[in-house]
Each structure stands twice: as structure tokens, then as C-alpha cells.
Amino acid sequence: MGSNMSGMRYEAPGSVDEAVTLLAEAKGAARVLAGGTDLLVQLRAGMISPDLVVDIKKIAETRDITGNGSGFSIGASVSGAEMGEDAKLLAAWPGVVEGAELIGSTQIQSRATMAGNLCNASPAADSVPALIAAGATCTVAGPKGQREVPVKDIPTGPGKTSLGKGEFIVNIKLPARPTYASDAYLRMIPRTEMDIAIVGAGVNLVLDDSGTCTAACVVLGAVGPTTIIVADAAAALIGSKVDAAALAAVSVAASAAASPIDDKRGTIEYRTKVAGVLASRAAAIAADRARSK
Amino acid sequence: MNEQPKQFKWVGTRTIRPDGVDKVTGRAMYGADLTLPGMLQGKVVRSPHAHARILSIDTSKAEALNGVKAVVTAADMPEAESKPVAAGEAMINFRDLAENVIARHKVLYEGQTVAAVAATTIDIAEQAAALIKVEYEVLPHVIDVLEAMKDDAPLLHDHIFTGGVKPKPEKPSNVANRVEFALGDVDAGFAAADVVIERNFTTEPVHQGYIEPHAAVADMGQDGKVDVWCSSQGHFMVRSFCAGLLKIPMSKIKVTAAEIGGGFGGKTTVYLEPLAIMLSRKSGRPVRMVMSREEVFRASGPTSGAALTVKIGATKDGRITAGDATLYFQAGAFPGSPVGPAAMTAFAPYDLENARVVGYDVVSNRQKVVAYRAPGAPISEYGVESIIDELAVKLGIDPIEFRAKNGAKEGTQAAYGVKFGTIGMQETLAAAKATEHYKTPLGPNQGRGVATGFWFNIGGESCAGIRINEDGTVSLTEGSPDIGGSRASMAIMAAEVLGIDVAKVKPSVVDTDAIGYHFVTGGSRVTFATGMAVVDASKAAIDEMRARAAKIWDVDVDGVVWEDGHAKPASTNVGDFEPMALAELAAMANKTGGPISGHADINAKGAGPGFGTHICDVEVDPETGFVTVLRYTAVQDVGRAIHPSYVEGQLQGGAAQGIGWALNEAYLYDKNGKMENAGFLDYRVPVASDLPMIDAVLVEVPNPTHPFGVRGVGEVPIIPPLAAVNNAVAAATGMRFTALPISPPAILASMAAKN
Amino acid sequence: MTKQHITATINGEEAEYLCEPQETLLDALRDQIGLTGTKEGCSSGDCGACSVMLDGRLVCSCLVLGVEAEGKTVETIEGMANGEDLHPLQQKFLEEAALQCGYCTPGVLIAAKALLDINDNPSETEVRYWLAGNLCRCTGYDKIVRAVMSTAADMRGA
């Protein structure tokens, strides 16, 4: 516990408006608490010392998953574990769900939320590539009311978001799903679990009834300060039957688009190569899932 | 020579461990679980620099903070004398130990203790710690072992003149010591070889990784008597070190060993205990100190990182003609790396005419190295076993056969001087070869690796007390902190000797006032040495009970024997007496002379060395370099498995640590000499999904010097995995790696270079 | 520094404690309630030694604020046995020697029970991935995994 944490205030408002007011009027630093699996780690390490923590879990709008193939709304307090238990969500968006479910251990899963993962803005966040590939949007509540923001516009750099003072995410929305559509998320870690991604790849695609890809989005994580949307990879998929040649082109495009750093978790050379490998593998899985619908 | 009974009632059975229910219900008390009335919370101030002179320490603001009851620095500890002391299986200098407990003039690694504070809450203690102002003169630092050996390297100590070289150097350096073991003539041996392979290897420092951080509570009274409660592998060591560091008579220090949440060698020295005593003395209140996980990494000792060159030659029909190795081990901030044992064990599994190992103990600005399970041997044997494998492949000989052909046997002269007695090297090789695992075919991108390991195991001082209670139950006391279930084995051995139900024997690890001196729980010695003391104590109790029966029957004590838990007349000549059970004699104790007990205080000799052979199968993803451990078998000569489940557990646990060492674990430093991965997120120990089942095959070649044939088992299992994994990856990829950990980036980069 | 008064149901009984906003549930359980069976291993959610059940979900108590437990149910290792009757997992761990130093054991048992409560026939892989957040340095996980699967078989009546 940081030594300047005495005096930290905890509030658990019951409505969006109360939460906005608390955050907007906070004198010092204020943080939003949902699952707490990033916030508490940072508190304990003394990396942050907020004067106010606003727990949003009592706000009804943040707690549920609603919807179906015509579109889902996932509340900001919904945990990865709860997402995995929603059969409709899992069937429509297996990639989004597996991205969220790869965050940490079973214990972390019981608490961690996509909104928190998104707003923590780690370049290696596991839930973000698939969300962006899905074309997800989020409802942001703030002093000026509520607005819909594409998820890709939230993280602006490592640890930084586009949210202003007093703003927080209420829910994340996924669009309607055509029949033969699916997604997938893969990541590279040194062990089998419990690691931060060295590379992440989320692929979302739509096939027509002849098996030809009509829409695609390929997003890389952990190989740049924020996620990277690889337009060339999507272009390689669209119009193809997602065959070996298309997948090879996806791989080349992904490696070319990656701009990673060397750090204690991986090297530039490694991340660049593996970005290509994972992007094509994720595309193959998404296509298989779409075909089997 | 002890007779080895063939049939046992309790030895070899899988009893429920006596401390088990407490451990599965959360009742067992570990170091941080004790609360005393008025207890304060302690916090350590640590150096942020890898190398610096301490110019001044200003504690005034901290002392003035409301709730702070004591602040200590090195000024509160007497100057320590320079003398060698044993810390687990390593020897260190006592003055260095004192400096490592709290720095006096210099800090030599990031994380070294500079001051400590005790306050009414941990929050206040942390605030106070932040208010302590230390002025440093930052000095250039050196991390890497080979860099530290250079003439122009930053000098850590100006009193280190390399030992073991003649003439003694005139200039101080970071090379603390040079050791050499040699046998025969290696040059002639290499000349006679058809194939010679030489490689350079590197390993990184790895931490023992115990899940329980260091924790201690000290409570000193006004008369200077102090009670210490701590998580430690040796509470007698704690008493001894604290007495010496703080100049307190040993009789005034009582140390109780809490249940311990892992040690693996890392808790065979002191960190918090002397600080807690100093703070308790100054504040007049009990003080608890607990390390955070980050502190465990930054401030307690990992094992050495090393650079090594290994060269082995063999004839084309598979006979090794010479082995030569040079080892450079970094000791961290103070001398005392395990390069000595590493040198001694390097070629010990083999019967060689010509062998030489030279080792260098080098200081550098890193955490002071501490024992880690078979200290040094995993590193040296990693190099040797990797080259043995390469030779076997090159010569077209099965890797187990190659080792068996050259393997140590009874009578083999080891390069480090000892002639082996009854050992189990060949038996473990044969058992490994006979496993179904070894015969199972492999698929694409898969490879199999084999490696052996050797460790001396030690005996040492242990004591035991057997007290026969009035109701015929038995209280067994001993003083070896129980890190893996040893109390179960003690009860088994006592029950076996006494001839009573093991459920009637209650073993306890008692404090330093209640029993005689014990060497630490380490060196794979507890089942051997403390077990021997338990057997001797049980026999002494039996002798006393025979004497009581003799008194009751009014016969000579020589006429009474002990069988199946009963005193019996030796023959019908002695008389026609009904056997008397232990419980009956116990009930009559006060009429026959008073309480019945037996004690033994020994320095156990004759520890039997251990050998192991491991088989590892891996699969390597050719596109990402990811290594999956598919299958693992650990075979070991265990002498006699008193409690087979806990012996298997040692093999499995050691193998898991070795796999982590091979694939993922390493200390990473930034350019300022600070550890970058001081947490379980980026210091990557194996998790449950990383490992397959680990088949433990126990081979029993009894050790003739122990009443039940026990050999130490705890340390051997961590030695073979490093090379077993390395050799498996080589088989799977066709490429040899010479740096640990073997990381996916390294594998992928090698594959790219190859193509 | 204002302490908040928290009421929660801990191991089936109503419990109250005072805690500061920045204190964790782990701190509250160990220091305020005196339930020291739940252990601290890392304070960063990486080792699982602090595992408890919070409203029926397996969590790391070092990553939950003490104040968040208001009105919730918490189950710790101390509540796993039914008086003198050990839970089948506890009994099996003893019989199969699925512990050595015992420090990770409370967390592992809580986690394993959470698995068997929702999956009565887990595969070896499912057990391993479920327990990936519980570090054990002593056992190499072998006997732990076997004990969990063996308990599941017993409980199924297999």
C-alpha cells in the first residue's frame, strides 16, 4: 500500500448520474473501480494514489448482458466469467469472449471486465483486439450526457484513454451478426497461462453462403503503443475463400504492420514474426467457426 | 553396519501426515500468522542503487512521526568479525552476513537493507520509511559475471584478493576464489579421444520461488530475553546468527520455527530476524516483519547465474576419456557462490580416469546468492549432461546406454576425491530405460531428452526425544523445520522401532530451548540424520523399558528383549513372564522409577549420495518456438522410501523447478542494475497448465549406514531437468541451445538462421 | 483516514469489521477477523494463495477491497470442513499427499472446490487450466491434479 493512500475515499453510487457527479467533482485524482484487477495491483505497487475510487458495480446499467444476434450490450461491470456463461454471446462472438477470458487466472476472470481492460489501456490488453475487430462501440457517460464511441477510439497510448474528466464507460455494444460470421482471438505468451501477451491477434470475418469472405477486420495487440488495425490483412481476406494463399497474405501483412518494441517480454524480431503467424491462425479459426454455423 | 529388515509395518506406507489436518483447514500457523498483544509492524528501507557509498542516514523525520516506535540502522548493530560460518550448505563470511542484514558503509545491490522502522500500523511504518533520508554517492556497477572479472570492472570490495591462486594477487578484484578438482591427465585423455565436443553455456540467476514470503516476529523483554517466531529452515541457525550479530547470549534467545511455506535453501540464512529483534529491543514491544513479494525478489538471495565451458572427449565405441570444465559463478554482492559444489558434482555421475574442473567465485552487484536445492549442481551438470547427449547422438549410441557404459559404480573414484560406496546410478539408468515412457514413439516436432544428476546429501547434527506418556502414547520431539512432510516419516520410524501403531506417536518440531542443536533443514538430511536420531532415541527408550520390565520381573535386563512393542523374556530360561506392552509399562512408570524416555543427540555420518535419471518429451511449435512439455519421468535412487508419497513429491517438485529454470525463469536487470521482473507476473514459475503429470519412479538401493537404508532425496531431482529439457528441445528442433532459459525468441531466431 | 464499518456473511455467519478504504479483503480477513488460513503470497493476483469465494465466485482476496464485501457472502478455507467432517477434497489431499509445505493449500482447495461445484467431471486439462492461478512450488502439481480428479470421481459415485 502506498504511503500517501491514507485519505483515499471509496464511493459506490447507485446510478450513472451519481457516478458522473462524483467523478466530475473530484478534487484530486479519481479512478473507476469495476473488477479491480488492474486498479488494486497498481494501488498496492504504489503506482497510483487516487483520492477517490468510484465503484460502479452497484449501477444497474453496468451489470447485465442483453441482446442476441441483432446486437449485444455488455455492461461495464460484467466479468469475463459471466460473459463465458452467456451461451448466445459465446455463439455469436467466441473471439470477443475468448479475448476477455484469457485475461489472467480463474480468480481474475471472476472480476475482470472488458471495460476495465480497455480503459487500463495496456498495449497488450487481451480483450481489445477482438473487440475492435468486431466493430464494438461503447456508451460513455459524462457531465455532458451520454455518447456512443467506437471502442478503437478509447485507448490513445499506453495507459492513456480519450475519456475526459467525469467520464466513464457504461456498457460495450456489439453489432448485429450476419449468419456466417465469426471471430477468434489468439495470443502468444511464454507459459500456457497467467502471462501478459507478447503478441495478440483478433480477427472478425463474415462469409457469404458460398464461403467467400465479404467483410473482415484483423487487429493486432502488443505490437504497438495501441492496437493496430491491419487493413491489408483484411483486404487479403475479402473476396477470398480464406484459403492457404489468403492466409499467407494475412501473415505477411500482419508482420509488416507490426511495430513492436524490445522489452522484458519479447523482442522486435520475435513479435514481428509471431504477429504474422497468429493473425493467419486466428483468421483460419474464425473462418472455420463461420463455416460451421 | 545396520541390518536391513525386509518386512516393515510402517516404513513404506502412506500414512496421513500428522500436521495434515491443520494444513488443509487453514489452522496451521506460518510466519505471518502470529499476532502478539501490542505488536508493531516493521518495514525495511532498501537501497535504490546497485552500487553506492552511504554518506549519511537521517532518521529524524521518521522518528518524529506519530505512531513510530523505533528506527534502526547499522549503528544499532555491533561490528561483526570476519570469520567463516555455515549458511545451509554454503560457507559465508560473518561480516558479510552482517552487511547483508543491514548495510554499514556501502550498498552493493538494489534492494539491500539500509534501515528499518517499527510503527503501530503498516501504513505508518511505510510512511516513516519514506521519510528516512539516505544520502548516497552512486558508483559504477557491474552485473554480468564475465564483466565483473575484468581488470577494469567496478570493484565491490577492496579486501578481496583471489583465494586459491599462487602467488596471492597483489591487487584486489571481484574474483573471490578459485577452486580446482582434478583426476588423472585430461590432456592425455583428450588426445586419446575420437570425438571431442566443447561448448560455452550461460545460465541466469533463478529464485527458489517459495510461495510464502519471509516473515518473523520478535518480542524482547526488559531483561533482554527475546522470543523469535519465524519462517525458517533452521531455527538453531537463526538463534546462532542473531546471537552472533547482536552479541546476545544464545540462552537468552528462544526461536520457534513456524510452519514454513517453502524454502528450498532460500531460508537457510537470516534477513528479517535480526532487524525485528533490534526494533523490539528499541521499542520495547513485539515487532512483526514480513517481506512483500517484490522484496523477496529484490532483497533475498537467488542462486548464481553462470558462464561455463565444458569439454568432453570419447572414443567411438562410447568410452569417455576425459572431461574438463571451467565454471564462472556470480556470488552476488558478497563471496560465497556454490561454485565449489558445482565443481565437485559436475562429472560425479561418471567413472572417469581423467577429469578436471576449475571454478571461479565472482562478486557482482546483485543480490547475495543463497542456497537453492543442490546448490551449483544443476548448473554444472546442465553443461555436462548437454554435451554427454551431444556425444551420444554423434556416436550413434543410445543416450541411456552411453551413460550406463560410463556411469559411476561402487568403488568409482569421483573427481572431487571420494570413492563411492553402495550407490544407485546404474540402477536408475536401467529403471529409466525400462519405462514405458522411454519406449513410446514420438510425433513431428517432438523430441526426447535424457539427463542424470548427482548430489552428495549430508548428515549433520540432529537430536530427538521420545517420551512415553502415561497412557502409552508417545510424544516425539525433534528440531528440524518440516518443509515437506518429514514429521510423518519421523513418526513412522519411531513407530517401526517401538513396535506400536503410528497413530500413537505424535511428532513435534520444538523450539530451541526444548531440544539440542540441529543443523538446518537442507542438504537432503532430515529423513537421514534426524531420522537416525529418532531411531536412536527410540532404541534408548526401549532400553529403559526393558530395564523397567526387568525390575518388575526381578531379572537381569539382559534377559529382556523388545519385540512387537512388548518387553518379553529373552528365553524360557529367564522365566515364564507374560509379555508387557508399552502401554502397560507406561502405566507403571511412576512405580518403576519415574517417567520413561529416550534421547539422542548425534552428528550423523554416512549420508548416502543420490543419483537420478530423468526423461523429458517436448513438442516445439516451429512457427512460434513455443515449447510444450508433453511427458516427464523422474527416476531416482532413494535408498528407502519411508513415506513413498512424500518421496515422490520431492521428485515431482524438483523436476518442476528444473523445468521452470530451463524454460522461463530468470532475473532480468535494467541498465541501472535494478531487477525488472520482481513479481510472479514476469518472474515466470511453472503454473499447473504448463506441466504434464510427472511420473516418479523410486529405485531403492538402501544406504547401509542408515538403520532403514535412507538416502537423502530432496535435492537430486532439480539437477537433471535443465539438460533433459535442453536435450529434448535439441532432439525436437535439430538445434543445440547453450543459454538458459531456452526462450521461444531464441528458438525462433535459431530456426530463422538455419533456414 | 476514516474506517468504514462493514457487515458481511463469512463462512455462514454474520461478521463485522472496520477497515480503511484502501485495505483489501485479504487484510480484513487476516487482521480484522483473525482468519489467517487465507495467505498472502504476492499481493498482485498472480499466486492465488489468497483465494476465497465472494458471492459464489472464486476471487483473489488481495484484489478485492475490504469495503466491497459489504452485504456479501465470503467463504474461506476455515469454512470448508463441516465441523470435524472434512470436505472430500480436504480428505483426499491428505490421503494423496497433495501438499508439501501447505502454504498454497488453502487457496488450491478453495479453487478446486469452486471447480467441482460447477463441473463434476473435469478433464485433466480442465483442472490444470482452472488451477493455473494457484501457484505451487513444492509439488509440481501432479498430486494436486490427481487428488482433484479422484475426488470428483468419488463425488460422482463413479
Report d(CA B331, CA B142) in Å as an integer: 12
A81–C22 CB contact, under 8 Å:
no
Read off the DSSP letter of residue B74: G
Using one digit for the tens of pLDDT, what is the confidence trace for C65-114? 999 999 999 999 999 999 899 999 999 999 999 999 999 999 999 999 99
pLDDT band per the 50, 70, 90 thresholds, residue A263: confident
pLDDT band per the 50, 70, 90 thresholds, residue A266: confident
The full length of chain B comes to 755
CB B291 within 8 A of CB B216: no
Using one digit for the tens of pLDDT, what is the confidence trace for B554-596? 999 999 999 999 999 999 999 999 999 999 999 999 999 999 9
B687–A3 CB contact, under 8 Å:
no
Q: How far is CA B586 from CA B469, B593, C103, in A?
A: 6, 11, 37
Coil vs helix vs strand at C110: helix
B749–A270 CB contact, under 8 Å:
yes
pLDDT band per the 50, 70, 90 thresholds, residue B86: confident
Which pLDDT score is estimated for B754?
A: 77
* Secondary structure of A264-282 as H, E, C letters: CCECHHHHHHHHHHHHHHH
User: A270 CB near a chain B CB, below 8 Å?
Assistant: yes
Report d(CA B120, CA B123) in Å as an integer: 9
Pick the closest to residue B44 from B233, B278, B208 (CA basis): B278
Q: Mean of the pLDDT values across residues A198-218?
A: 97
- In chain A, the residue whose alpha carbon lies closest to the alpha carbon of C50 is A107
The alpha-carbon gap from A140 to the nearest alpha carbon of chain C, in Å, equals 24
A194–B126 CB contact, under 8 Å:
no
Chain B residues closer than 8 Å to A45 by CB:
294
Which residue in this structure is represented by grid cell 515422490? B648
Pick the closest to residue A149 from A157, A141, A139 (CA basis): A139
For residue A193, give the C-alpha cell: 497461462
pLDDT at B372 over 70: yes
For residue B146, give the C-alpha cell: 564475465
Using one digit for the tens of pLDDT, what is the confidence trace for A1-46? 444 456 799 999 999 999 999 999 999 999 999 999 999 999 999 8
pLDDT band per the 50, 70, 90 thresholds, residue B449: very high
Chain A residues closer than 8 Å to B690 by CB:
191-193
Which pLDDT score is estimated for A3?
A: 42
Chain C residues closer than 8 Å to B25 by CB:
37, 77-78, 80-81, 86, 90
User: B714 CB near a chain C CB, below 8 Å?
Assistant: no
pLDDT at C145 over 90: yes
Using one digit for the tens of pLDDT, what is the confidence trace for A108-117? 999 999 999 9
Report d(CA B188, CA A134) in Å as an integer: 70
- In chain B, the residue whose alpha carbon lies closest to the alpha carbon of A267 is B745
- List, in order, residues 6 or more apart from B125 with CB less than 8 Å away: B40, B41, B42, B43, B68, B117, B118, B119
A40–C129 CB contact, under 8 Å:
no
Which residue in this structure is represented by grid cell 485495505? C23
CB A34 within 8 A of CB A43: no
A40–C130 CB contact, under 8 Å:
no
For residue B459, give the C-alpha cell: 548428515
CB A240 within 8 A of CB A269: no
pLDDT at B385 over 80: yes
Residue type, position A255, single letter: S
Coil vs helix vs strand at B628: strand
- Measured over the CA atoms of residue B63, residue B68, residue B70 and residue B71, the dihedral's sign is negative
On the CB side of A140, how many CA atoms lie within 13 Å of its CA?
22
C133–A44 CB contact, under 8 Å:
no
The alpha-carbon gap from C4 to the nearest alpha carbon of chain A, in Å, equals 9
* Interface contacts (B, C; CB < 8 Å): 176
- List, in order, residues 6 or more apart from B174 with CB less than 8 Å away: B142, B148, B149, B153, B155, B156, B157, B160, B362, B363, B364
Q: Which residues of B529-545 are buried (b: 16+ CB within 10 A; e: fewer)?
A: bbbbbbbbbbbbbbebb
Report d(CA B544, CA B523) in Å as an integer: 33
Q: Name the residue among A5, A12, A111 with its Cβ closest to that of C63.
A: A111
Report d(CA B162, CA B169) in Å as an integer: 6
Q: Mean of the pLDDT values across residues A73-96?
A: 97
- List, in order, residues 6 or more apart from A131 with CB less than 8 Å away: A96, A99, A114, A118, A151, A172, A202
Q: Name the residue among A1, A192, A277 with its Cβ closest to that of B126.
A: A1
- In chain C, the residue whose alpha carbon lies closest to the alpha carbon of A53 is C21
Burial-class residue C158 by CB neighbours within 10 Å (0-12, 13-18, 19+). Answer: exposed
CB A70 within 8 A of CB A176: yes
C47–B211 CB contact, under 8 Å:
yes
User: A3 CB near a chain B CB, below 8 Å?
Assistant: yes
The whole-angstrom distance between residue B550's C-alpha and the CA centroid of its chain comes to 46
Which pLDDT score is estimated for A4?
A: 46
* Longest CA pairwise span in chain C (Å): 55
User: A177 CB near a chain C CB, below 8 Å?
Assistant: no
Which pLDDT score is estimated for A1?
A: 41
Which pLDDT score is estimated for A274?
A: 97
Which strands, in side-by-side order, build the sheet including B627-637? Answer: B446-455, B610-620, B627-637, B694-699
Task: List residues bridging with B620 in a β-sheet.
Answer: B627
Chain C residues closer than 8 Å to B27 by CB:
37, 78
Helices of type H across chain A: 16-25, 39-44, 80-84, 87-92, 94-101, 106-109, 114-120, 128-133, 231-237, 244-257, 268-291
pLDDT at B4 over 80: no
On the CB side of B24, how many CA atoms lie within 13 Å of its CA?
28
Residue type, position B462, single letter: S
Read off the DSSP letter of residue A247: H
Q: Mean of the pLDDT values across residues C141-156?
A: 97
Pick the closest to residue B238 from B404, B479, B591 (CA basis): B479
User: A113 CB near a chain C CB, below 8 Å?
Assistant: no
For testing contact with chain B, the best of C52, C138, C148 (most B CBs within 10 A) = C138
Report d(CA A31, CA B528) in Å as an integer: 57
CB C62 within 8 A of CB C69: no
Domains of chain B: 40-139+214-290 (3.90.1170.50), 306-457+608-754 (3.30.365.10), 460-604 (3.30.365.10)
User: A33 CB near a chain C CB, below 8 Å?
Assistant: yes
User: B291 CB near a chain C CB, below 8 Å?
Assistant: no
C137–B19 CB contact, under 8 Å:
no
pLDDT band per the 50, 70, 90 thresholds, residue A265: confident
Which pLDDT score is estimated for B5?
A: 55
Q: Name the residue among B292, B653, B691 with its Cβ closest to that of C43.
A: B292
B744–A192 CB contact, under 8 Å:
no
Antiparallel, parallel or unpaired: β B627-637 and B694-699: parallel
Task: List residues bridging with C73 in a β-sheet.
Answer: C9
The alpha-carbon gap from B623 to the nearest alpha carbon of chain A, in Å, equals 7
Residue type, position B626, single letter: F
Chain B residues closer than 8 Å to A274 by CB:
623-624, 748
Using one digit for the tens of pLDDT, what is the confidence trace for B610-645? 999 999 999 999 999 999 999 999 999 999 999 999
Share of chain B above pLDDT 70, in %: 99
Contacting subunits of C (3+ beta carbon pairs below 8 A): A, B
B680–C135 CB contact, under 8 Å:
yes
Q: How many CB atoms lie within 10 A of CB A292?
A: 8
Contacting subunits of A (3+ beta carbon pairs below 8 A): B, C
CB C130 within 8 A of CB C122: yes
User: B28 CB near a chain C CB, below 8 Å?
Assistant: yes
Pick the closest to residue C27 from C70, C75, C61 (CA basis): C61
Report d(CA B274, CA B101) in Å as an integer: 7
Which pLDDT score is estimated for A2?
A: 42
Using one digit for the tens of pLDDT, what is the confidence trace for B290-316? 999 999 999 999 999 999 999 999 999
A37–C63 CB contact, under 8 Å:
yes
Beta strands (DSSP E) in B222-285 are: 226-230, 253-257
Which pLDDT score is estimated for C158?
A: 66
Burial-class residue B693 by CB neighbours within 10 Å (0-12, 13-18, 19+). Answer: middle
User: A292 CB near a chain B CB, below 8 Å?
Assistant: no
CB B524 within 8 A of CB B714: yes
CA dihedral B487→B490→B494→B495, nearest 10 degrees, is 60
